[in-house]
Amino acid sequence: MDLHRGLGDIEGARNGLVACAARNLAQHLLLARRQRGQAGARLRIGCALRPERCHQRAHPLGAEHRIAPGRATYRLREQVAVHGLEQIASRDAPPLPCLPIPWRPACRALLAALLAGCAGIAPPAPWPERLQALLPADVLLLGEQHDAAEHQRLQRAAVQWLAARGQLAAVVIEMAERGHSTRGLPGHASAAQARAALQWNDAAWPWSVHGPVVMAAVAAGVPVRGGNLPRSQMRAAMDDAAWDQHLPAPALQRQYEALRQGHCGLLPETQLAPMARVQIARDASLARTAQEALRPGQTVVLLAGSGHALRSLGVPTHWPASLRSRVVIAHTAPAPDALHGEADTVIETPALAPHDACAGLRRERPAPAATSTPR
């Protein structure tokens, strides 16, 4: 973004309506974002200018709207890039009561014009049209939080969008075991038929949560393939020390730490290596299933938990360099900064209601089963 050029343009009309609107539009947009029920999504003040005076000017605006400074914002309505507007809003000149909340269509037009002056680009398209920027790809890996309904909605929209364009080769899912598929089912097949074909385990993966995306693919005539490691093979994976060599030592240690946290600190240290082997073997199974579903000129969509989607730890580590993969990870706000290095795109969704999933486990402190596996 040529922010300096954009700021120069705005400064030239500093005492006019445009400058007034720019400052206030940015402030109102930031505040409106908070007032539209997105309290969990932390907007962040991004300073393109490095001097300390810039930080000092931005700080009051951030404090007023409870926005954490020093980090670039990725979401404003439909991923609008407001870096430049935020910078303008943090300048010394006092705001004028130019624009009401909520902002009207004229404000949208002004926003588009200002962004064009600052960036020379149009605002990003809404999901799922944003997928076009990631294509062509052999595999599109969509990582989710299993308890975030918005993530499953995004997945379903992506499947329908690709299928409507004839670009969807298959859907591979973590939620069913490798070897099971809906291939051969007609487009009008029932949910019961799809569940039977995939040997669905509703206790582990509630159909009400994950079934809609499966049925979207079935209705489009696209096969859904289970990709998870079968339970019958998990004991062998636990005992196979060869999996310890797949990841570099630092990455393997991160995998161990993820397992500690994922099991609420209750997993015995002696079980970390066996459990990591299972996780790596599951990644390998998902990767292999996706590769087997490849079709020229089309894209395989792979749906899995975000831990499986990480480029440095998960499924992508099992693919050859020649395979064109794209990774999109959905994460409830705030998404960790480190996550942006693990994916081509990170989508922040509204924060979930506070819930301590470990509280019950810690009260009971049950002995963890050696055969349990991470999700």
Instruction: Spell out the domains of the chain, with CATH numbers in brackets.
Output: 3-119 (no CATH), 129-364 (3.40.50.11550)
Q: For residue 266, how far is the Cα from the chain centroid?
A: 28
Euclidean distance between CA atoms 224 and 234, whole angstroms: 22
Q: Which pLDDT score is estimated for 353?
A: 87
**Three state DSSP letters for the chain:** CCHHHHHHHHHHCCCCHHHHHHHHHHHHHHHHHHHCCCCCCCCEECCCCCCHHHHHHHHHHHHHCCCEECCCCCCCCCCCCCHHHHHHHCCCCCCCCCCCCCCCHHHHHHHHHHHHHHHCCCCCCCCCHHHHHHCCCCEEEEEECCCCHHHHHHHHHHHHHHHHCCCEEEEEEEEEECCCECCCCCCCCCHHHHHHHHCCCCCCCCHHHHHHHHHHHHHCCCCEEEEECCHHHHHHHHHCHHHHHCCCHHHHHHHHHHHHHHCCCCCCHHHHHHHHHHHHHHHHHHHHHHHHCCCCCCEEEEEEEHHHHCCCCCHHHHCCCCCCEEEEEEEECCCCHHHHHCCCEEEEECCCCCCCCCHHHHHHCCCCCCCCCCC
First to last CA, the chain: 39
Q: Which pLDDT score is estimated for 77?
A: 34
Euclidean distance between CA atoms 74 and 152, whole angstroms: 20
Amino acid occupying residue 204: A
Q: Which pLDDT score is estimated for 113?
A: 54
Identify the CA nearest to 348 among candidates 26, 38, 140, 102.
38
Q: Which pLDDT score is estimated for 368?
A: 52
Identify the CA nearest to 308 among candidates 357, 237, 374.
374
User: Residue-wise pLDDT tens for the chain (375 aa)?
Assistant: 444 444 444 344 333 433 444 444 445 444 544 444 444 333 333 333 333 333 334 334 344 434 443 333 333 333 333 344 444 444 444 444 444 444 445 555 555 555 555 554 455 578 888 999 999 999 999 999 999 999 999 999 999 999 999 999 999 999 999 999 999 999 999 999 999 999 999 999 999 999 999 999 999 999 999 999 999 999 999 999 999 999 999 999 999 999 999 888 888 999 999 999 999 999 999 999 999 999 999 999 999 999 999 999 999 999 999 999 999 999 998 988 889 999 999 999 999 988 787 887 777 665 454 444 445
Q: What pTM did the predictor assign? A: 0.66
Q: Which pLDDT score is estimated for 177?
A: 98
